[in-house]
C-alpha cells in the first residue's frame, strides 16, 4: 500500500475539530504535543464501539458476552508479544492503565529490600525514577553535554555495585530530547552482572519498531512497559511484557479480586502471572483500543514513520535556527538517534508565555516546563537546583510530532514564533530567559511536566 500524509491524516479522529482563539475566532487545532498524548485513530474508535456491543465481564462469567470479551482480552497478550518481538514462551503480558502504573507494579514486586540497588539514569521521566527511589537505593547514570546517555557510566555503576544491583531501568526514548537509547547494549551490560533490564517504552513505542529479543540471549530485554495513549488509543491502557518466571516469584502491592486461586480465613493462595498483576476489573475499552492501534501502526510501517518523522524534524530545526534568540537543546546536527521531539527556548520569552501565545493566538498546542523530567531538564538548560526548596525548573518548550503532522503544521508553528519575535513583546511580564538557557526565578504557578 502506498502511504501518503493525507491518507494518514484521514485516519485521525477529531483532527479538524476547531478550537477558540483569544480573539474569539475558531481555527483547526495544530497539535504539536504528541509526546504527551496522541489523538486516537478513527479505526480505534470504531473498533471500541463494535466490541462494546458484546461487552461482558472478563473471566468472571459464562454468558456469551462474557466469553467473547474474555477471549479478546486473553488473546490480546499474544498480539502484544508479537508486536514487541517477544516471541518466546519465557514472556508473559499483564495489562496496566499506563506506563506509570506498570513501573510501579514492577517496583513494588521486584524490590525485596531497601538495600536493593537500582541503576537508572538522569534522562528518565519521573515514572522511571520515583517508583525506585521510594523503595530502594537508586544510583543514576549521567548524560553528556548534549543530553545523550553515557552508557559507560552504566558500566561503571555496574562494576561499582555489582552483586547488589537488582536491575537497570532505562527509557527507550527520551520524552524531552527524543534520544533513542541502545537498550540491547545496555541489556548485555546488565546481564553480565546478573541484573535485569527494565525499559520504559512509553515514548518509543509509536515511533520505532521494538524487538525485545537481541542478537544473542544476553541482549534480550527482560521487561518492557508502555502506554496506549501515546500510540493513538484513548481510555487509558498499557501493558508490561516481562519474564514470567521472574514475575511468578513476586506479588505487586496491588491486591483484590482476580489475582487469587483461593482465599482462606488466615491465608491466601495467589494466582500465577499475569493474573497476579491484574487485580480488579480490567479496562476492556483500553485493551481493545491498544490492540487496534497496534494493527494500524503496523499497517503504516515503522520504516515510513521513522523516515517521515526525520523529515519533519529537519525542516523544523532548520527553520528554528533562522529565528533570532531561539535556543535549541540536544544534538541538532546528527538527529538519526532522535524520535520526533524538539525542545527549545526563546530568549526574552518565558516558556509558559510562548506556549500560551501559540495556543491562544494560533491554536498550536505545545508543552512547556520540565516534562516530568526535572533533573534532565536542569542539565540541558544549565539551571541549578537552588538547594532543596521545592523549586521546579523553569524549563523549556517542547514540540513533538505525530505521524499525521505535516509541513503546513511545521510552517504554521515557525510563522507563529516569527510573529511573536517581530511584534508581540507585550507578552512579557518581567520574566526573562538568558542566552545560556538559564532561567530567572519568578513567583508564579508552574506546569509540572
Q: How far apart are CA 285 and CA 377, in angstroms?
A: 35
Q: In terms of domains, do 366 and 335 share one?
A: yes
Check which CATH number belongs to the domain holding 194 and give it: 3.40.640.10
Q: Which of 163, 182, 164 is nearest to 121 (CA)?
A: 182
Q: Which three cell numbers stand for residue 433?
A: 530567559
Q: In terms of domains, do 143 and 233 share one?
A: yes
Please, where are the H alpha helices in 148-260?
A: 151-161, 183-192, 244-247
Q: In terms of domains, do 174 and 315 share one?
A: no
Domain presence at residue 447: no
Q: In terms of domains, do 157 and 264 share one?
A: yes
Q: Residue-wise pLDDT tens for the chain (449 aa)?
A: 678 999 999 999 999 899 999 999 999 999 999 999 999 999 999 999 999 999 999 987 789 999 999 999 999 999 999 999 999 999 999 999 999 999 999 999 999 999 999 999 999 999 999 999 999 999 999 999 999 999 999 999 999 998 889 999 999 999 999 999 999 999 999 999 999 999 999 999 999 999 999 999 999 999 999 999 999 999 999 999 999 999 999 999 999 999 999 999 999 999 999 999 999 999 999 999 999 999 999 999 999 999 999 999 999 999 999 999 999 999 999 999 999 999 999 999 999 999 999 999 999 999 999 999 999 999 999 998 877 678 899 999 999 999 999 999 999 999 999 999 998 554 444 344 433 333 332 323 334 34
Domain presence at residue 443: no
Angle, to 10 degrees, between the axis of helix 284-300 and the axis of helix 42-52? 140
pLDDT of the residue at 389: 77
Domain presence at residue 25: yes
pLDDT of the residue at 16: 87
Sequential DSSP letters for 135-159: TSEEEEE-B-TTS-B-HHHHHHHHH
Q: Is 299 helix (H, G, I), strand (E, B) or coil?
A: helix
Q: What angle do CA 19, 25, 29 make, to 5 degrees?
A: 25
Domain presence at residue 394: yes
> Which distant-in-sequence residues (6+ apart) come within 8 Å of 288 by Cβ?
47, 48, 51, 52, 72
Q: In terms of domains, do 254 and 326 share one?
A: no
Q: In terms of domains, do 293 and 315 share one?
A: no
pLDDT of the residue at 62: 85
Q: Which three cell numbers stand for residue 301?
A: 510501517
Domain presence at residue 439: no
Structural domain range at position 140:
45-299
Q: In terms of domains, do 220 and 293 share one?
A: yes
Q: In terms of domains, do 357 and 408 share one?
A: yes
pLDDT of the residue at 432: 40
Q: How far apart are CA 103 and CA 224, in angstroms?
A: 9
Q: How far apart are CA 102 and CA 25, in angstroms?
A: 42
Q: In terms of domains, do 91 and 184 share one?
A: yes
Q: In terms of domains, do 357 and 404 share one?
A: yes
pLDDT of the residue at 41: 98
CA distances from 200 to 175, 191, 239, 384, 435 (A): 11, 18, 11, 26, 33
Q: In terms of domains, do 244 and 376 share one?
A: no
Q: Which of 430, 423, 434, 415 is nearest to 346 (CA)?
A: 434
Check which CATH number belongs to the domain holding 404 and give it: 3.90.1150.10
Domain presence at residue 352: yes
Q: Where is the domain boundary, 299, 324, 345?
A: 299
Domain presence at residue 212: yes
Q: Where is the domain boundary, 267, 299, 331?
A: 299
> Which distant-in-sequence residues (6+ apart) come within 8 Å of 449 by Cβ?
126, 369, 370, 371, 372, 373
Q: In terms of domains, do 165 and 253 share one?
A: yes
Q: Where is the domain boundary, 269, 299, 329?
A: 299
Q: Which of 292, 308, 298, 304 is nearest to 228 (CA)?
A: 292
Q: How many structural domains comprise the chain? A: 2
Domain presence at residue 413: yes
Amino acid at each position: 500500500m502506498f502511504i501518503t500524509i493525507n491518507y494518514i491524516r484521514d485516519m485521525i479522529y477529531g483532527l479538524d475539530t476547531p478550537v477558540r482563539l483569544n480573539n474569539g475566532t475558531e481555527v483547526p487545532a495544530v497539535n504539536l504535543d504528541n509526546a504527551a498524548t496522541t489523538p486516537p485513530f478513527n479505526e480505534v474508535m470504531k473498533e471500541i464501539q463494535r466490541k462494546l456491543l458484546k461487552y461482558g465481564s472478563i473471566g468472571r462469567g459464562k454468558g456469551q458476552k462474557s466469553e467473547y470479551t474474555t477471549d479478546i482480552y486473553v488473546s490480546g497478550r499474544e498480539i502484544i508479544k508479537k508486536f514487541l518481538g517477544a516471541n518466546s514462551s519465557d514472556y508473559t503480558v499483564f495489562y496496566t492503565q499506563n506506563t506509570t502504573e506498570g513501573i510501579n507494579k514492577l517496583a513494588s514486586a521486584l524490590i525485596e529490600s531497601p538495600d536493593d540497588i537500582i541503576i537508572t539514569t538522569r534522562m528518565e521521566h519521573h515514572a522511571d525514577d520515583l517508583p525506585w527511589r521510594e523503595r530502594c537505593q537508586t544510583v543514576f547514570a549521567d548524560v553528556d553535554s548534549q543530553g545523550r546517555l553515557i552508557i559507560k557510566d552504566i558500566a561503571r555503576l555496574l562494576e561499582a555495585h555489582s552483586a547488589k544491583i537488582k536491575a537497570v531501568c532505562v527509557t527507550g526514548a527520551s520524552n524531552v530530547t527524543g534520544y533513542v537509547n541502545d537498550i540491547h547494549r545496555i541489556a548485555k551490560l546488565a546481564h553480565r552482572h546478573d541484573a535485569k533490564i527494565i525499559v520504559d517504552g512509553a515514548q518509543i513505542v509509536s515511533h520505532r519498531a521494538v524487538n525485545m529479543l537481541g542478537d544473542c540471549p544476553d541482549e534480550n530485554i527482560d521487561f518492557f512497559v508502555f502506554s496506549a495513549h501515546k500510540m493513538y488509543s484513548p481510555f487509558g491502557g498499557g501493558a508490561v511484557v516481562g519474564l514470567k518466571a521472574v514475575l511468578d516469584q513476586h506479588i505487586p502491592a496491588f491486591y483484590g479480586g482476580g489475582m487469587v486461586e483461593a482465599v482462606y480465613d488466615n491465608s491466601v493462595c495467589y494466582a500465577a502471572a499475569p493474573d497476579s498483576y491484574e487485580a480488579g476489573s480490567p479496562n476492556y475499552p483500553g485493551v481493545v483500543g491498544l490492540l487496534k492501534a497496534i494493527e494500524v501502526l503496523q499497517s503504516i510501517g515503522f520504516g515510513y514513520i521513522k523516515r517521515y518523522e526525520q523529515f519533519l524534524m529537519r525542516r523544523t530545526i532548520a527553520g528554528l535556527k533562522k529565528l533570532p534568540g531561539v535556543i535549541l537543546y540536544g544534538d541538532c546536527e546528527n538527529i538519526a538517534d532522535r524520535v520526533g521531539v524538539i525542545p527549545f527556548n526563546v530568549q526574552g520569552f518565558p516558556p509558559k508565555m510562548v506556549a500560551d501565545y501559540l495556543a491562544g493566538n494560533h491554536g498550536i498546542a505545545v508543552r512547556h516546563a520540565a516534562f516530568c523530567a526535572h533533573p534532565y531538564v536542569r542539565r540541558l538548560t544549565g539551571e541549578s537546583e537552588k538547594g532543596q526548596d521545592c523549586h521546579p525548573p523553569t524549563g523549556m518548550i517542547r514540540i513533538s510530532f505525530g505521524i499525521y503532522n505535516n509541513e503546513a503544521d511545521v510552517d504554521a508553528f515557525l510563522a507563529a514564533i516569527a510573529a511573536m519575535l517581530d511584534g508581540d513583546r507585550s507578552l512579557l511580564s518581567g520574566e526573562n530567559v538568558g542566552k545560556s538557557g538559564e532561567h530567572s526565578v519568578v513567583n508564579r504557578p508552574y506546569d509540572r511536566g
